Amino acid sequence: MGEGNWDSNRIIGTRPMKIVGGGVTGFIFATLILSFSVESQSTPDKKTSMNQLRFNFLLPLTFVFTSCTDNGGAANKAAADKATDSTVAKNSVPPGSFDLTKPDHTWQLPGQLVEVSGNAWIDATHLLLIEDLHPALYIVKLDDKNATLEKTIPFAETEKDKVDIEDVAIADNTVYALWSHGALFKITGWQTNPKVNKIKTGLTKENNTEGLCYDPVNKTLLIACKDDPGTGDDKKSARAVYQFDMNKQTLIQPPYMVVHKKDFEKITNEKVEFNPSAIAVHPVTHDIYMLTTKDNKGMAIFSHDGKLKSYQAIDKELMPQPEGICFSPDGKLYISSEGKKGEPGNLFEFDKAP
């Protein structure tokens, strides 16, 4: 009885509705054969009745199961296509980007940097890092095996100024540290005799300022807001990046760029909640790189005029809380992440993108 239609490989295949259709086809052909066999042994009157019975029974049966087969195949194809799109969006490496699944070097950071929240490049063997809970600069020396804390430089009194330090940048040998409530700490002579000036930018805790970097193109600081973009007319899902004029010590309005959720949907074919936690400008291409870690963990690359170019998800097992990003002058990427459940944070180095 149509044995070819009922082999075990087809029964346990990945498209069950199509398999049912195959079985029904066998059933229909078997019924036809049987009916013709009976017909050959029938009288002329019985043949007419048999033809009518065969037509009345097989036509609707064929229509029903053909529809089921087609609809099931289309539904399964759509589901498979959606799953493929999602996999590509989450796991693929955008052309010209870094493969964030394969760091070229990984360091465990000193115990003082469990909640590391920002980093900046000093030289080939040193990075400047900060962490959430204490207003201090940490100079860390890197070698092939270890990340060693060389110096700790406090820049505010913890008891007097309870702050949440979120990022750090170096511009013209001056350090700027960013408070989540919008203020900047300008630190001159930071390696020898630190002098600190606290600057109000006009941004507030509602903006939740978490990203800070120096932009060599416009010679300004870029400040990324994790929450309220501060524009009033944008949707709550929008996020803003502002410029800060270091000479005039003022925030430049309007925002330099506004990030919209819909832009990510066009690239990834799925919804991406993007809340900037760090920002950096590539020293060669001048593309703007931003991390997100609140809901999704990933890295977005924008052209310098603010157009989204790509998005790559980050494995939370590798980087539980990626909140720091910077580049070396030759284009190596450094990302810092908090550790798991109180463990020390980690620093990841990625060589130049292809």
Instruction: Give the model's pLDDT for residue 235.
Output: 67
* CATH number of the CATH domain containing 228: 2.120.10.30
Q: Do 151 and 46 share a domain, yes or no?
A: no
Residue 100 domain flag: no
Instruction: Please state whether 326 falls in left (phi above 0), alpha (psi between -120 and 50) or beta.
Output: beta
Residues 151 and 226 occupy one common structural domain: yes
Cis bond before residue 320 (omega within 30° of 0): no
Confidence of residue 92 (pLDDT cuts 50, 70, 90): low
Instruction: Indicate whether 264 and 317 sit together in one domain.
Output: yes
Residue 126 backbone dihedrals phi, psi, to 5 degrees: -135, 140
- Is residue 82 located within the same domain as residue 127? no
- pLDDT at residue 213 above 80? yes
pLDDT surpasses 90 at 310: yes
Quote the pLDDT of residue 91. 47
Domain boundary, last residue among 60, 91, 122? 91
Average pLDDT of span 192-216 = 96
Nearest to 184 by CA among 245, 124, 141: 245
Domain membership of residue 26 (yes or no) is yes
The answer to whether residue 25 sits within a structural domain is: yes
Amino acid found at 342: G
> Coil, helix or strand for 279?
strand
Cα separation, 197 vs 202, in Å, equals 16
∠ CA 62-66-67, rounded to 5°? 120
213 and 295 housed in the same domain: yes
List, in sequence order, every residue forming a beta bridge with 333; answer none if it has no partner. 327, 350
> Does residue 97 belong to any structural domain of this protein?
no
Q: Please indicate, yes or no, if residue 98 is contained in any of the structural domains.
A: no
Whether residues 71 and 157 share a domain: the answer is no
**Cα→Cα distances 225→56, 182, 346, Å:** 69, 9, 24
Whether 99 maps to a domain, the answer reads no
Asked whether residue 118 falls in the same domain as residue 175, the answer is yes
Instruction: Indicate the pLDDT class of residue 34, thresholds 50, 70 and 90.
Output: very low
The upper half-sphere exposure of residue 144, i.e. CA atoms within 13 Å in the direction of its Cβ, equals: 0
- Domain boundary (62, 91, 120) is at 91
Task: List, in order, residues 6 or more apart from 299 with CB less than 8 Å away.
Answer: 97, 98, 100, 289, 290, 291, 292, 311, 312, 314, 322, 325, 335
Higher pLDDT, 259 or 39: 259
- Report which of 37, 142, 104 is spatially closest to residue 350, judged by C-alpha positions: 104
State whether 72 and 206 are in the same domain: no
Q: Is 39's pLDDT higher than 60?
A: no
Backbone angles phi, psi at 53, to 5 degrees: -65, -45
Mean pLDDT of 285-308: 95
pLDDT tens figures, 108-154:
999 999 999 999 999 999 999 999 989 999 999 999 999 999 999 99
Q: In this structure, are residues 277 and 258 in contact, taking their beta carbons and an 8 Å threshold?
A: no
Say how far apart CA 337 and CA 76 lie, in whole Å.
39
Does residue 122 share a domain with residue 65?
no
Of 296, 322, 326, residue with least CA distance to 311 = 296
The answer to the question of residue 55 being in a domain is yes
How long, in residues, is the chain?
354
Decide if 96 is inside a domain: no
Domain tally for the chain? 2
Q: What is the mean pLDDT of residues 67-77?
A: 44
CA distance 274 to 238: 9
For 268-296, the pLDDT digits (tens) are: 888 899 999 999 999 999 999 999 998 88
pLDDT score recorded for residue 342: 77
CA 93 to chain centre: 11
Domain carrying residue 21: 3-91
72 three-class SS = helix
Look up the pTM and report it: 0.74
For 312-335, how does the pLDDT look when each residue is reduced to its tens digit (9 = 90+)? 999 999 999 999 999 999 999 999
Domain-ending residue, one of 91, 119, 144: 91
Residues 306, 180 within the same domain: yes
Whether 236 and 296 map to the same domain: the answer is yes
- Alpha-carbon distance 100 to 351, whole Å? 11
Q: Which of 1-15, 83-97, 210-224 has the highest mean pLDDT?
A: 210-224
Q: Is the dihedral of CA 124, 175, 243, 234 positive or negative?
A: positive
Quick: pLDDT tens for 13-32: 333 333 334 444 444 444 44
* Residue 38 confidence class, pLDDT cut points 50, 70, 90: very low
* Candidate ranges 4-8, 12-16, 102-106; pick with highest mean pLDDT: 102-106
What does the pLDDT read at residue 233? 65
Same domain, yes or no: 332 and 195: yes
What is the average per-residue pLDDT within 90-101?
A: 75
Task: Report which of residues 86 and 235 the model is more confident about.
Answer: 235
Percent residues over pLDDT 70 in the chain = 71
Q: Do the Cβ atoms of 25 and 1 come closer than 8 Å?
A: no
